[in-house]
Amino acid sequence: MESKAKLLGHPVHPMLIVFPLGLLATAVIFDVIAFVRGIASLAVASYWMIAAGVISGLLAAVFGLIDWFAIPAGTRAKRIGLWHAAANVIVMILFALSWTLRAPAPANPPVAAVALSVVAAVFALTAAWLGGELVDRLGVGVDDGAHLNSPSSLSHRPATETDSNMRHVV
């Protein structure tokens, strides 16, 4: 099932998810280091990464929702997509709560804020696995007819075609 929201021939949702995943995962790593080593600047960096991660996560969700509405009803993909979305909503809520708890003193977050981030990261891993299941196992967001010698998406040719000069195509 091809993605409905594309940019230059590629699905937008997978392009955008790298930002919240990277920002929020790094925020958790910085939190742990800041908590263990007492490095206030890492706690402040984590505070701002969480803000950027939640904002970019909400933007990625818009494009994920567009694709989810295109999945046929009654399919396993529709159910997995709903679980994927629900897990990500929990991730966003937990990180937003963590961010709110930090607001009074970003350099010295309360233990509860760090704990919320760690729990959110576990939910994020689960949500990421479900997203992988959608793409890798169920083919959601994959061009119809995609194969190892499909032409570039920039060529405006269907994925079902074969590029005869694959050595020269990037």
Low-confidence residues of the chain: pLDDT under 50? none
Burial 8-25 (b: 16+ CB within 10 A, else e): eeebbbbebbebbbebbb
Burial class (CB within 10 angstroms; exposed 0-12, middle 13-18, buried 19+) of 55:
middle
Please report whether residue 108 resides in a domain.
yes
Cβ contacts of residue 157 below 8 Å, gap of 6+?
151
Please report whether residue 105 resides in a domain.
yes
Please report whether residue 30 resides in a domain.
yes
Please report whether residue 164 resides in a domain.
no
Provide the pLDDT for residue 162: 82
Provide the pLDDT for residue 170: 54
Please report whether residue 87 resides in a domain.
yes
Please report whether residue 152 resides in a domain.
no
CA–CA distance, 70 with 126 (Å, rounded to integer): 23
Q: What are phi and psi of 89, to 5 degrees?
A: -65, -45
Using the Cα atoms of residue 133, residue 137, residue 138 and residue 141 in order, give the sign of their dihedral: positive
- What amino acid occupies position 111? V
Looking at residue 11, what DSSP letter applies? E
Please report whether residue 170 resides in a domain.
no
Q: Are 15 and 77 in contact (CB under 8 A)?
A: no
- What total number of domains does the chain contain? 1
- Model confidence, pTM: 0.87
Provide the pLDDT for residue 163: 67
Please report whether residue 159 resides in a domain.
no
Provide the pLDDT for residue 158: 82
Q: Are 3 and 124 in contact (CB under 8 A)?
A: no
Provide the pLDDT for residue 4: 78
Provide the pLDDT for residue 168: 53
Range of 31's domain?
6-145
CA–CA distance, 111 with 104 (Å, rounded to integer): 14
